[in-house]
Amino acid sequence: MSIHRPNEAAMENDAEEFSLPKKQMKRKLCNDDLEKQLLSQAAAILSRDDDEYDNFGVIVASKLRKMDENQRLAAEMIIWDVLHKGMLKQLNVQDPIGHYTGPVHHSYK
């Protein structure tokens, strides 16, 4: 009875065939881990209770949607200016917030 020994080329081919699924499996595991992480983060965000700032943002968005485009753009600029000054600790009640000095759009007929 003789023992059949495969040649080295055949062994290398077999090794390559077995290593490819491992690489694909690692990639799939990485994708699965990423998917689990993203789902976990999404669940944490969705389960978080809204606070007064979330609610205020919803109200502001609702009111902006009811404005015509020019008024909405002006309001957005004023809101951004107020937020910017607040972040820089330069906001005070004497600021002329309602005096928008941005670009004026004229409608010529």
Secondary structure of 94-109 in HEC code, one letter for each residue: CCCCCCCCCCCCCCCC
Question: Per-residue pLDDT for 23 more than 70?
Answer: no
Q: Are 14 and 44 within one domain?
A: yes
Give Cα separations from 1 to 4, 5, 7, 8 (angstroms). Answer: 10, 13, 19, 22
pTM here is 0.49
At residue 78's C-alpha, the angle toward residues 77 and 83, to 5°, is 100
Count the domains in the chain.
2
Whether 27 maps to a domain, the answer reads yes
At 67, the amino acid letter reads M
Question: Per-residue pLDDT for 2 more than 60?
Answer: no
Q: Are 12 and 35 within one domain?
A: yes
Q: List pLDDT tens digits, range 30-83.
A: 788 889 999 999 999 888 888 899 999 999 999 999 999 999 999 999 999 999
* Residue 18: domain span: 8-48
Q: Are 12 and 22 within one domain?
A: yes
Whether 109 maps to a domain, the answer reads no
Rounded Cα distance between 37 and 100, Å, is 45
Whether 72 maps to a domain, the answer reads yes
Whether 1 maps to a domain, the answer reads no
